[in-house]
Amino acid sequence: MKISKSQRNNIIFLGIILIMIIPQTRQPIQVFLQKGLAMFSPSIVDEEDRITLTDYNWQLVDENGLRYDFNEAKGKVVFINFWATWCPPCIAEMPSMEELYQDYKDEVVFLFVSTEQQEVISKFKQKNAYDFVVHASITANPAQLETSAIPRTFVIDQQGHILIDKTGAADWNSKKVRGLLDELLKFE
């Protein structure tokens, strides 16, 4: 029996729908699709549209139990990422963030912020060989850093200007982001 072109297309379409419905295959497929979207660099906010962070009153705790007072970030270049281990776009952009973190961790304040249990985060980091430190909020985020969607990432300069405000996956290890960080770090 010969299958027509339209029957073959219907079978392929049905197969894709079934794969998306099966829980074990849903997340890997979503991550794969998000990786395609994460091939692009985030946009830098135009100078006239930049918001200046005025409130640094934010307390966090890292995965090792060490408290971090966000006031310590004043006058520094800051990279903040709100994320979760179950979020496909977060998972898709993490490899580029890890690479950026490895190269700039001594010069830029990196705050990877999650609301998940420490055990879940530790397993995720170990499975993926990630080295970045994850924080949890103890107090509310500053109003300018409020987020209702993840991943959400901010890059803030020494004067508190939010230069990048990106919701969704992106390539954080791009020439554009590295160039921005290098330019900012020249003035420290």
State the Cα–Cα distance between residues 26 and 24, nearest whole angstrom: 6
Task: Report the distance separating Cα 37 and Cα 33, nearest Å.
Answer: 7
Per-residue pLDDT tens, the chain, 188 aa: give them: 677 888 888 888 877 776 666 666 556 656 565 566 566 778 899 999 999 999 999 999 999 999 999 999 999 999 999 999 999 899 999 999 999 999 999 999 999 999 999 999 999 999 999 999 999 999 999 999 999 899 999 999 999 999 999 999 999 999 999 999 999 999 66
Alpha-carbon distances, residue 116 vs 15, 29, 113, 124, 126 (angstroms): 33, 22, 9, 11, 15
Per the document, the length of the chain is 188
Pick from 131, 138, 139: which is nearest to 110 by CA? Answer: 131
Cα(104)–Cα(174) distance, integer angstroms: 13
The rounded distance, in Å, linking the Cα atoms of 65 and 175 is: 34
Q: Is the pTM of this model over 0.85?
A: no
Burial 44-71 (b: 16+ CB within 10 A, else e): bbeeeebbebeeeebebeebeeeebebe
Count Cα neighbours of 67 within 13 Å in the Cβ-side half-sphere: 6
How many Å apart are CA 93 and CA 61, to the nearest integer? 23
